[in-house]
């Protein structure tokens, strides 16, 4: 018989569900609320010792939640980059690019210092 999920993991999964739904709906206010909710859940994480309790799935469940959170983060970064490209195509002289050289700042690292992420 499978161990029931830790109550904290259930809260974290529910928070991630809400965040994903808000992202899919494209509702910035809902994304902000859901992000705050996930942050609140993360601040109430169980003590480290609870992750090592024999028979507990907490560690495995936490790794799955971290993976899911990473996927959501990547989706947000991709959407942000797409939005920046769209704005740049509509207003080419109004917005800086996501990646590129910083104007007027010579690179001390050669090619490695040329790209940067603005966010």
Residue 12 lies inside a defined structural domain of this protein: yes
pLDDT range class, residue 58, cuts 50, 70, 90: confident
Q: Confirm whether 118 is domain-assigned.
A: no
By residue range, what is the domain housing residue 95? Answer: 7-113
| Pairwise CA distance, residues 7 & 32, whole Å | 23
Q: What tokens appear for 26 in the block?
A: 């494209």
Asked if residue 43 has pLDDT above 50, the reply is yes
Alpha-carbon gap, residue 96 to 101, rounded angstroms? 10
| pLDDT over 60 (residue 9) | yes
- Is 119 domain-assigned? no
Mean pLDDT value of segment 44-62: 85
Number of domains in the chain: 1
77-103 pLDDT, tens digit each: 988 898 889 888 888 775 555 665 555
Q: Give the highest mean pLDDT range of 39-43, 84-88, 110-114.
A: 39-43
Indicate whether 36 pLDDT > 80.
yes
DSSP 99: S
The answer to whether residue 2 sits within a structural domain is: no
In-domain check, residue 73: yes
Domain annotation covers residue 16:
yes
């Amino acid at each position: 018989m499978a161990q029931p999920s830790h109550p904290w993991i259930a809260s974290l999964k529910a928070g991630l569900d809400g965040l994903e739904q808000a992202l899919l709906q494209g509702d910035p206010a809902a994304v902000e609320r859901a992000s705050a909710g996930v942050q609140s859940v993360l601040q109430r994480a169980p003590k480290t010792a609870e992750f090592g309790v024999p028979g507990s799935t907490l560690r495995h469940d936490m790794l799955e939640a971290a993976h899911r959170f990473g996927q959501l983060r990547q989706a947000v970064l991709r959407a942000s980059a797409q939005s920046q490209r769209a704005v740049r195509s509509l207003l080419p002289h109004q917005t800086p690019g996501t990646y590129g050289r910083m104007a007027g700042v010579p690179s001390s690292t050669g090619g490695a210092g040329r790209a940067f992420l603005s966010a």
